Structure 1
């Protein structure tokens, strides 16, 4: 039987929840629920009185009293007159009794390695550190800057979505459906910005643009389907489509994005990023867009247009999307809602012919039914109140300044490299000297507090070039850009081969 925790133990328990962001009352609740459910306190012994617990934890007694009463109301504690508070034994009913000792090794475990269809962990993926926020110079793409996050606006939308009337809408099982208010906002607010017009039955919500690609691959691609991918290109698209098809066609890019060549005739589907090519960020000219669509009609292939970060154009007027120019329903349009506000929200969408969207709903139901409707509804409110458009304007101004500082800093501190001009998005594609191994540079720079992304993962070939890297600026303050690049230059020159004298 567990021993009654003494003063030091209660204080130690409390410290586990000290940095959760909850109020003191919430921290006390978490501590006691953990103690109760983990059976760290005997059920026949009272927990400390509110006065005693307050003294041990160094908090106001009333804070403890409220926490105790809430746990009584929820059935975790019972109050016995003149005896104090005890654990409610009913809360532990129906649990399998704990077995003593370590779990024995299985007698005949299955040989899992021969059962896997493929090994996702062995694919080449973009690597990002979980502790990136502790580094002073995080030149990472796809992370967010907390100073730009619209905390008050987002909290307002979340709180309104928790009203009784709203809960009745989003708490139900939607099965095939999406939240109608979000679909409507995408149709009337988001898509028209890109010249795309669709009906409600031509839109499906996904858990980010990445799930959109996975659903499309699951539905449309078989083992012998030829799929064309940009090289360099988005690694997760490569990994998703190559997990289905053995016929991946590498398509070269230049300063106008995907090259329109006879190689495209061999493809059934082509994944393309025309607004900001991933990872080079170059924009496909309008003439090439028309040529690509003309070839798609002539050769009978489908274009999967990933219009990521299209709203972050830093110079000039935005070009029409492939989807807006499409007259034969050959373009499947994939977009992201959460990338501009916070990638952790994971909301994206697909626009396509109603017949395709209906089947995508069917396969999504098998996959996860639907994205969290609470998040869908909160984001719909965020859009309808104009918060999203206001955020995009702030981000555009911030990214424009950061991009300018980054290019200036590269010119001053890293003249050895060649940076692709930044026309939009939130990253810069850099080619280093031929001798450079960007993975080594990333390791050396991290020791100086600078995080960068080696570029070899973006190339589809087996032996990719090693002298490219990507510098993101969505998560770094503009004042940190120049000092960070100066340190990166220091790291690069320390790796440079010494000249023979």
Structure 2
């Protein structure tokens, strides 16, 4: 509370609401206004005095320091829009906001049943272990190792940990010049697209597949073509002859969860060598239940170096960390570093060092085991609940992972279900966005279970089943609750009838 009071006062001074020499409310008056203890205000005031923001005057109280300067002295016109008079529709050369993409509400955590993919679960985040590594990274000795400008380099300690602790579990052995850290797997895909794809190149992408990757490559070339997927993964015989780059998720296909079979994997590698196709392997969910299955990676079986491997650490730990990596040929990594330098030099090295310590101290392995146990339990509950409450829907889980791919009856509209379910406190992801065609099938949707507590899965799926039947029968759905608590009550009432 002291910190929040200090932030409030400093912000008011910076924005010009509190001018130099302005008296502040008495500690008692401000404490009563904010409903906090008076000592909280006194300690906050004293800290600001020590920092030179406020000054204390005997028998007069606290005042804004005369030397304090607002960041915006002239507050007039602060709400006026910028860029007036520019016809941006004529000047912009790309419109990423118009691409079809996955939409998730920012306030997803307030919903009682968030069946959305790839989100953070604070209940299983190793807060104490991560805090230990962050504190250690901020020690004087560690700061000397990461605080300098790396230019186009990375924290050598993290590169070492990736090479010795993370990649070997996937059957990959790489030298220091074959690994580069990125701001998540998303940046890795963007960099590879920029380096490997020109306007006339043909890029093959699994269909259905990862929407963000599709949109990234469509910014580089209009020739993005679908590669169908069946129960064995991407179909090698359906890859277009003109394809020069192929993006795959072989360990666990996005979004169906299918693992690329050994025979299909061998066929793809042979075909890529014969046609000189570059392969990008997105191993986005490799840690969840697949850590011992090194055979599932293409990079591990690629003697030619044409497979560029993309991995993620933030998906396992927390999406907000934004830490991923590329493994590729030294020539490719050299150019990737040069391109990344032009974009943002390198990811923050304090986070890199904290992650390196997290790996070196064994925290990552322990957290991974816990994640696998929790997700395995949730998957079992999901399977049982879907079998009981979603009759007529085909559900696919695949090996490991944290989501289910659901196919509804022909003519079923998952977008309508998603809208009604959201109003009732249940979040799902319609599946049409995963398909390349502008007129995709509408009867698919994805259910993630990384962010929903295990004890809420059964009730959430039961409610979703009721809503799905109502959608099929064109029945009205429950109204959207005003708050998460109200949503939970309304959901339980809907389930109990």
- Distance change >3 Å, CA 323–CA 49, structure 1 → 2: same
SS of the aligned residue for 1:210 comes to: helix
State the partner residue of 2:472: 496
Partner of 1:452: 428
Secondary structure at the aligned position of 1:304 is classed as strand
> Which residue of 67, 86, 91 corresponds with 1:90?
67
8 A Cα contact 1:364 1:370, kept in partner: yes
Q: Quick one: structure 1 residues 289 and 167, their matched pair in 2 at CA, closer, same or farther if it must change by over 3 Å?
A: same
CA distance, structure 1, for counterparts of residue 122 and residue 202 of structure 2: 42
1:218-367 residue pairs with structure 2 within 5 A? 218-261=194-237, 263-313=239-289, 317=293, 319-367=295-343
Asked if 2 retains the 8 angstrom alpha-carbon contact of 1:314 and 1:400, the reply is no
Query: What is the DSSP-based 3-state SS (H/G/I as helix, E as strand, rest coil) of the residue aligned with 2:346?
Result: coil
Once the two structures are superposed, residues 39-68 of structure 1 have per-residue CA deviations (whole angstroms, 9 ceiling, x without a partner) of: 333433432444554465454444333322
Give the equivalent residue in structure 1 for 2:54.
Answer: 77
Farther off after superposition, 165-174 or 301-310: 165-174
Cα displacement string for residues 284-324 of structure 1 (whole angstroms, at most 9, x for unaligned residues): 11121111111111111110000111121279955341000
1:332–1:351 CA contact under 8 A, matched in 2: yes
In the alignment, the residues of structure 1 paired with residue 80 and residue 454 of structure 2 have an alpha-carbon distance, to the nearest angstrom, of 55
Q: Cα gap change, 1:79/1:445 in structure 2, threshold over 3 Å: closer, same or farther?
A: same
Number of the residue aligned with 1:384: 360
Cα distance in structure 2, aligned partners of 1:256 and 1:80: 77
Counterpart of 2:369 (choices 393, 402, 413) is 393
2: distance between equivalents of 1:62 and 1:341? 38
* CA offsets 1:341-385 (integer angstroms, 9 cap, x no match): 111111000000111101001100111111111111111111111
Q: In 2, are the aligned partners of 1:314 and 1:396 still within 8 Å (CA)?
A: no
> Normalized against structure 2, the TM-score is what?
0.91
Deviations 1:183-231 (A, max 9, x none): 1110100000000000111110000000000011111211111111000
Equivalent in the alignment of 2:344: 368
Structure 1 stretch 410-419 or stretch 271-280: which is displaced more? 410-419
Q: Aligned to 2:67, what secondary structure does the other structure show?
A: helix
Conserved? CA contact 2:170–2:293, under 8 Å: no
Please say which of residues 107-116 and 45-54 is displaced more in the overlay. 45-54
What is the alpha-carbon distance in structure 2 between the residues aligned to residue 427 and residue 442 of structure 1?
Answer: 16
| Unaligned runs of at least 5 residues, structure 2 | 475-497
Choose from 37, 41, 44 the match for 2:14. Answer: 37
CA distance in 2, matches of 1:254, 1:388: 33
Which secondary structure state, in structure 2, belongs to the residue aligned with residue 147 of structure 1? coil
Aligned to 1:415, the other structure's residue is in SS state coil
Q: Which residue of 2 aligns with 1:168?
A: 144
Q: Does 1:130 align with 2:106?
A: yes
Matched, 1:471 2:447: yes
Please give the residue correspondences for 1:157-236 in structure 2 after superposition, counting only pairs within 5 Å.
157-236=133-212
Q: CA RMSD in A?
A: 2.2
Give the TM-score normalised by the residue count of structure 1: 0.90
Counterparts of 2:400 and 2:59, CA distance in 1? 69
Q: Is the 8 A contact 1:137 1:449 kept in 2?
A: yes
Report the CA distance shift for 1:123/1:167 in structure 2 as closer, same or farther (over 3 A).
same
Residue 406 of structure 2 corresponds to residue 430 of structure 1:
yes
**Offset at 1:408?**
1.4
